[in-house]
Structure 1
Amino acid sequence: MTTVVHLETAVDLDERADSDPRRVSVSATLSAVLDNGRRITLLDDRGWGSTGLWETTAVGEIEDTARTVVGPDEPAEGQTHEEVAAAHWTHLVAVLGERGVAADSDALRRLPHAVVLSDRLRSRVATA
């Protein structure tokens, strides 16, 4: 049986980032990495932007933000953090199930979560 061994968020420059040197803009794609090396995309609609200089944006800051933006999201009015988190992990388990991989939401949320910056993004940011 194939299992998920860790989560990975790939972070790259947003195409709009090159148009304004004062805007830091990136996209983030969350994937599950399986024990056979295969990757399954779980979320590909995430990212963020801020006004600032690339030279003052640290790799660690991008890694921390990437883990945040791929969820769980902040609760809407009337929701609790626990409800939103449960729905988030249930959704990811459903995506895996659609691709033939059985997973448990509690186990999934405890997996290591790596963040990988693209070479072109890494070349633009501070090394601190």
Structure 2
Amino acid sequence: MTTSGRRRPVETTGPGGSIASVKRLVSYVDAGGERRTQGVSFAVRFGAELDDGEFVVLLDDRGWTSSGTWTQVSVAEVDETTRVVVGPDEPRDGGTWEEAETSHWDGLREILAEQGVEIGLVGLRSLPHDVVPGTRLLNRIAGNPSGPSS
């Protein structure tokens, strides 16, 4: 059900065919794909979970590297850093935090709109944001780097 490259708004199977809405923002974070001899790396996929269960990717180019070791990493630290790396980014030279935040949230809103999901800036900014660590990351934090890789 696409029209000129754009997906129509997702409709639920409930009475009246109501349009799906954004339930929450989710950051899926896992250990970076490359095995490093020094340091640790993390990859983040940030998106919006719709009330029909569909996931719309908003950012898939985020992550970070640290010179520490897996024994120094905590789930709480990963949660906190993940929330920082998905934005908003710092203001550009001469810009303000307010401009950077507005630009960030408006960009995310536009990605959702391109996928047929309409939401206002205030509603988007007020959504809960959950950070979900991946199995590979949890295994490395637990000291079992050879555990399941998914």
TM-score past 0.5 threshold: yes
User: Aligned ranges for residues 91-102 of structure 1 at < 5 Å?
Assistant: 91-102=107-118
Residue of structure 2 in register with 1:33 after alignment: 49
In the alignment, structure 1 segments of 5+ residues that lack a partner are none
Q: Write the deviation string for residues 91-121 of structure 1: whole angstroms up to 9, x where unpaired.
A: 0000000000001111111111001111110
- Greater Rg over alpha carbons, structure: 2
Aligned CA-pair RMSD: 1.3
- Separation in 2 of the partners of 1:39 and 1:124? 26
Letter in 1 for 2:81: T
Residue of structure 2 in register with 1:7 after alignment: 25
Q: 1:42 aligns with which of 58, 71, 74?
A: 58
Task: Return the offset for 1:72.
Answer: 0.3
Structure in which a larger fraction of residues adopt helix: 1
Runs of 4+ in structure 1 deviating by more than 3 angstroms, as ranges, are none
Task: Return the TM-score normalized by structure 1.
Answer: 0.93
Task: Return the TM-score normalized by structure 2.
Answer: 0.80
Task: Return the offset for 1:19.
Answer: 2.7
Residue of structure 2 in register with 1:119 after alignment: 135
Q: Write the deviation string for residues 16-43 of structure 1: whole angstroms up to 9, x where unpaired.
A: 2x132x3110111101000101000000
Contact 1:71 1:88 in 2 (8 A): yes
Identity rate of aligned residues, in percent? 42
Contact 1:58 1:126 in 2 (8 A): no
Q: 2:103 aligns with which of 48, 72, 87?
A: 87
Letter in 1 for 2:39: R
Contact 1:59 1:126 in 2 (8 A): no
In the alignment, structure 2 segments of 5+ residues that lack a partner are 1-18, 144-150
Q: Which has the higher contact order (CA 8 A, sep 6+)?
A: 1
